[in-house]
Chain A
């Protein structure tokens, strides 16, 4: 099976899938598909970890893969879906710029990353593409955070950034020691839950989940 993974360059395909799911966020008009795209993204991340665990035969990567699957692939999406249901406002994304333009800008981001990382850090990973893709996913996540009005989408952008971060850590170092990874995951999980609580609070006290309303504090 090792030969099979190498021959079909499975790892490249999976990381391309991760990039595609991130880019696809730009084109959705409603919130639900964004949550689905994130779920798919996390599953792919988990699959990628599993595949490389198989290639290198490192036990802790298997564990990381399983933990990723359950926390990011199951727990966080379920939580997000619950929050989206609770916020009964329109489920439109309402970007500040048109979808076509934001797609174009994200592709420019990908090109910039590829151009600037062509000769940069020398990568230890299995595939040459993983590091570039991970940085691109982080940038796209950040881009989504700054161009969307809805608070939920900001959280999803943050989650994409975090997936990209995990991918990059993985590309650079074959993953951190397991205890560290668990700690980071736990922190992130808590952060997302607390953001969810705040989301509901915002909804209650501003009667809207638009971040347009959150502009009182300035200067």
Chain B
């Protein structure tokens, strides 16, 4: 389905029309996929022999992919109209952008639906390639974006080569269990998992964690992430951060469910806790000294991936539940933040924190949304991330890992301070300084009137308000169907 949309978008020549066609394409995709996902949650389905397979876990991630595609397709329309107006892109750029956007969505859907380890690897590598094009050539040809895309594709390809080595090793391990033909299907692997040679699987897991960890932005190998996120167009940053990292992490989660029965969960757990803590530590330090708000958000993504890894590592029902819930919450809050930061960037023409002041007074709606997003990201109660962070923390304390819990709290507090001091200044600062700064920038500032009432801006604001209201609703209560889906996922993961 996204393939068709990509093709249509490439053929169309009217800038306005393409946007709405792409939106219609994602809506059609969502309505086609929804019944499939709902039926997959209750009982798994396989397709095309054993190439594709869906259960609650893949359905959960897939639903997030589709929801965010919808949001970012809706947001893209106005974003690109604005970019057109200031001359950063033309019709060919827009056509390329939408075609690539839908290819990107297609590859991410492929990741979640693949039943085969190697097919999933292929899909993940394809996401790298397509999204690198979106960052670097998507439309505006800026040298910084090319630098970011170069770094991104080189680092992720090297990382993912190691992941393929891990897959080879797994295949090797299955050959010795099954004789002649090995197997790479999740379904088969799950069945024979306890028989696999533990030391071989440990080696394979290290390679997989390194490879997909690079893609998921875990800390020692995260260097591509801030560049790519800050240089990409805002709707793409939202997709990258909100869901691409999660699809890579989904690869790791699938792998854990085969490695654990073989090696015991202590080994994988300790590695994940270590990586999670390093991620949180490094990102919290960088958040404190950051001067660019889009990079600030990128580091916050690393922090949240760290929390998810930590939750998975601690394991147990509570830990895994927290991690899965956190995936969803992060996928709701982070896109909201990237969407609003895209609008702030459009209005102030800068991504430096010091150049932005008094958003709350000059643009009340946008300011409020930003405020909600920041509070949610830093884990302030009544918002959703507080719930999942609290669940992870509770799991840590239940297991008696006091050092881990202490470090967790320390890093979260550092991030809280860093984020609030950065965004607080942007939100509440005086207006006068803004005007001076804008005069200095002269023609570089692309101020547009906020009070546009075209259809695209209504859609744009609507999608942000929807995200913000979801954040608040999920902060107060977890709806029943999501709760039961997550519990299904925990069963699939085999957490004890």
Contacts and interface: CB of A to CB of B under 8 A. Distances in A.
Interface residues of A, number: 37
Contact of B172 (A165, A173, A197, A216): A173
B148 A217 contact: yes
A214 B150 contact: yes
A172 B154 CA distance: 26
Contacts of B295: 219
Interface stretch (A2-10, A15-23, A61-69, A184-192): A184-192
B155 to A, nearest CB: 10
Contacts of B175: 124, 173
Contacts of A173: 168, 171-172, 175, 182
Nearest to B224: A217
Contact of A183 (B119, B161, B165, B231): B119
Interface residues of B, number: 47
A49 interface: no
Contacts of A132: none
Given A142-B158, A180-B184, A217-B147, A187 B153 contact: no
Nearest to A142: B158
B121 A184 contact: yes
Interface in B108-157: 116, 118-119, 121-122, 125-126, 128-129, 132-133, 136-137, 141-144, 146-151, 153-154, 157
Majority DSSP secondary structure for residues of B touching A: helix
Contact of B153 (A180, A191, A206, A219): A191
B203 interface: yes
Contacts of B290: 219
A219 B132 CA distance: 20
Majority DSSP secondary structure for residues of A touching B: helix
A36 to B, nearest CB: 23
Contacts, number: 114
A188 B156 CA distance: 12
A129 to B, nearest CB: 17
A93 B278 CA distance: 36
Nearest to A165: B161
Contacts of B169: 121, 172
Interface string A169-210: 100110011001001101110110011011001100110000
A106 interface: no
Given A124-B175, A172-B169, A214-B151, A180 B119 contact: yes
Nearest to A122: B176
Nearest to A151: B150
A176 B150 contact: no
A168 interface: yes
Given A145-B158, A180-B119, A184-B118, A201 B141 contact: yes
A41 to B, nearest CB: 16
A158 B129 CA distance: 15
Interface in B280-310: 286, 289-290, 295
B158 A169 contact: no
A198 B149 contact: yes
A52 interface: no
A84 B125 CA distance: 25
Contacts of A197: 137
Nearest to B200: A121
A194 B141 contact: no
A205 B146 contact: yes
A125 to B, nearest CB: 10
A83 B423 CA distance: 45
Contacts of B260: none
B136 A201 contact: yes
B164 interface: yes
A194 B152 CA distance: 12
Nearest to A193: B129
Given A172-B171, A187-B126, A158 B146 contact: no
Interface in A124-154: 124, 138, 142, 145, 151, 154
Contacts of A176: 118, 168, 171, 184
A162 B161 contact: yes
A161 interface: yes
B129 A172 contact: no
Interface of A: 121, 124, 138, 142, 145, 151, 154, 158, 161-162, 165, 168-169, 172-173, 176-177, 180, 183-184, 186-188, 190-191, 194-195, 197-198, 201-202, 205-206, 214, 216-217, 219
8 contacts: A183-B119, A191-B128, A195-B153, A197-B137, A202-B150, A214-B147, A219-B286, A219-B290
- Identify the 10 closest CB pairs spanning chains A and B, nearest first: A205-B143, A172-B172, A180-B118, A169-B168, A183-B122, A217-B227, A187-B125, A214-B147, A201-B146, A173-B171
Given A195-B153, A195-B154, A206-B143, 6 more contacts: A154-B154, A158-B154, A168-B168, A172-B169, A188-B125, A202-B147
